[in-house]
Amino acid sequence: MVNIPNTFRMDVRAKIYAEYRSVDELRELLQQYRGERLLHIGAGSNLLFTGDFNGVVLHSAMRRARATREDDSHVFIEAENGLVLDELIAQLCDMGLSGMENLSYIPGEVGASAVQNVGAYGVEAKDVITEVRALAIADGSERTFTHAECCYGYRDSIFKNDLRGQYIITCVTYRLDKQFVPKLDYGNLRGEVGANPTPMDVREAVIRIRRQKLPEVSEVGSAGSFFKNPIVPREQYEAIAAQYERVPHFDQEGGVKIPAAWLIEQCGWKGKTLGGAQCYAKQPLVLVNTGNATPQDVITLAQNICNSVHDKFGITISPEVNYI
């Protein structure tokens, strides 16, 4: 059994851990391990392993990116699945290309960005992804998904739903802007950025803010935001707003988004510990491993938090993290 890398720092193992350096090598691995339980991971930064994985964990060592075409306003960048997303964003900002700077410092790799539709500071991967190339696990055939075919939603895509476990994303094309129009309306980003910022200025501001609030992957085990922010019917939001002062909220299509962090804090979970798992004191949306957490500690803490939020507000919050 081999250790599986994961940012939650869970001590979990797989029967086999295999890395590939080309799409052909990936095809060969799929042939070789046909019939085995398969899991493709990136950096393991959105995973909660509930125990050892009795199967084959695949990981990409393909890490190239190149510009495939450009027009007057855009440059299209095709990036391989194993490239660290933040390394790509750093390079793009350096080149003065914009559109992804708000996604700076999100852990993980290019392949998962298109599965998860990662998002931060008012930008989501879906805003810049134009197409996704993938390999069918069943027969090794290649398929290109258009943006529409990816069926993107909040931290969601077809790869998490109808096509779950059926395709391995090998390449993602992002559309970057040549002309920079900064997006600074989310949180305190505007206040952190000086006048006439460059994409790199925004990237650096995002990183500064994230470092203040979120655990450093190199220091503390976590999978980032553990829960999704719920979107509730307007009447339910209004009922809550009538009872509490200044309920943070964002109007959305189909309802009102209430930050799960606020709901969790109101239930008194901020900073609370269960076994080795903790509701992070600086950002209660994040559950952390204080050093010796077992998967069960995290699962129980998450369940207790969900129950409290449901009992107090009648809102069901669901995990953003993938349980394996």
Ligand X SMILES: Cc1cc2nc3c(=O)[nH]c(=O)nc-3n(C[C@H](O)[C@H](O)[C@H](O)COP(=O)(O)OP(=O)(O)OC[C@H]3O[C@@H](n4cnc5c(N)ncnc54)[C@H](O)[C@@H]3O)c2cc1C
The residues binding ligand X (CB under 6 A) are 7, 39-47, 81, 106-109, 111-113, 115-116, 118-120, 155, 159, 168-169, 214-215, 217, 222-225, 322
- Smallest distance, ligand X to C-beta of residue 5, A: 8
- Smallest distance, ligand X to C-beta of residue 13, A: 16
Q: Is 222 a catalytic residue?
A: no
Three-state SS string over 149-198 comes to HHCCECCECHHHCCCCCCEEEEEEEEEEECCCCCCCCCCCHHHHCCCCCC
- Smallest distance, ligand X to C-beta of residue 171, A: 9
**Which lies closer to ligand X via its Cβ, residue 111 or residue 284?**
111
Query: Catalytic pick from 133, 155, 175, 203?
Result: 155
Rounded distance, CA 264 to CA 273, Å?
14
Q: Is 318 a catalytic residue?
A: no
First CA to last CA across the chain, in angstroms? 17
Q: What is the DSSP string of 213-263?
A: HS--TTTSEEEEE-BPPPEE-HHHHHHHHHHSSS---EEETTEEE--HHHH
**Which lies closer to ligand X via its Cβ, residue 85 or residue 267?**
85
Angle formed by the axes of helices 85-94 and 199-213, nearest 10°: 140
- Smallest distance, ligand X to C-beta of residue 238, A: 28
**Which lies closer to ligand X via its Cβ, residue 193 or residue 240?**
193
**Which lies closer to ligand X via its Cβ, residue 98 or residue 157?**
157
**C-beta nearest to ligand X: residue:** 42
Rounded distance, CA 164 to CA 152, Å?
14
- Smallest distance, ligand X to C-beta of residue 141, A: 15
**Which lies closer to ligand X via its Cβ, residue 169 or residue 302?**
169
Residue 69, SS3 per DSSP? strand
Q: Is 155 a catalytic residue?
A: yes
For residue 84, the 8-state DSSP code is: B
Query: Catalytic pick from 60, 113, 157, 225?
Result: 225
**What amino acid positions are annotated as catalytic residues?**
155, 225, 320
